[in-house]
Amino acid sequence: MNAIITLLAGLLFGLGLAFSEMTNPAVVIGFLDIFGNWNPSLIIVMASAIAVGMIGYFIKGKQLRPFLGSTWQVPTLRQIDSKLIIGSSLFGIGWGISGYCPGPGLTALVNNPNEGIYFVGALIIGSGLHYFQTKISHK
């Protein structure tokens, strides 16, 4: 059952990305280009995501445990540190340069394989470097 729910959630997420055109780097870059030819259409996508998140937190406040799980999986860190600032800055710079973030970037393997292969390759290499750096620093 968990696998089916995960598949359905992934399909819904993918459809949302495609419908909102977040899989199109030109639309994303147009949204991020506030001093140029700005395209504010992704504000609706962000507002929708925030609304869904708020509903989730509302449900969490009313339920002792999730419908399909034993415990709630909620981030507990509240500290803004250098790792958060550097990581979010690198994410934002990469998103602004390429027009892709990880979810829509994976769709580029099909929609635009000439660009997608570079993005996904860089994503894998960056994730691997972070993984090995974390392993080394925790020894």
Residues 53-97: tens digit of each pLDDT: 999 899 998 998 888 788 888 888 889 999 899 989 988 888 888
| pTM for the whole structure | 0.68
21 in helix, strand or coil?
A: coil
Q: What is the pLDDT of residue 117?
A: 92
Q: How far is CA 37 from the centre of its chain?
A: 24
Q: What is the pLDDT of residue 81?
A: 92
Are 98 and 119 in contact by the 8 Å Cβ rule? The answer is yes
Please give the structure tokens belonging to residue 126: 């960056």
Total domains present in the chain: 1
Range of the domain at 28: 2-137
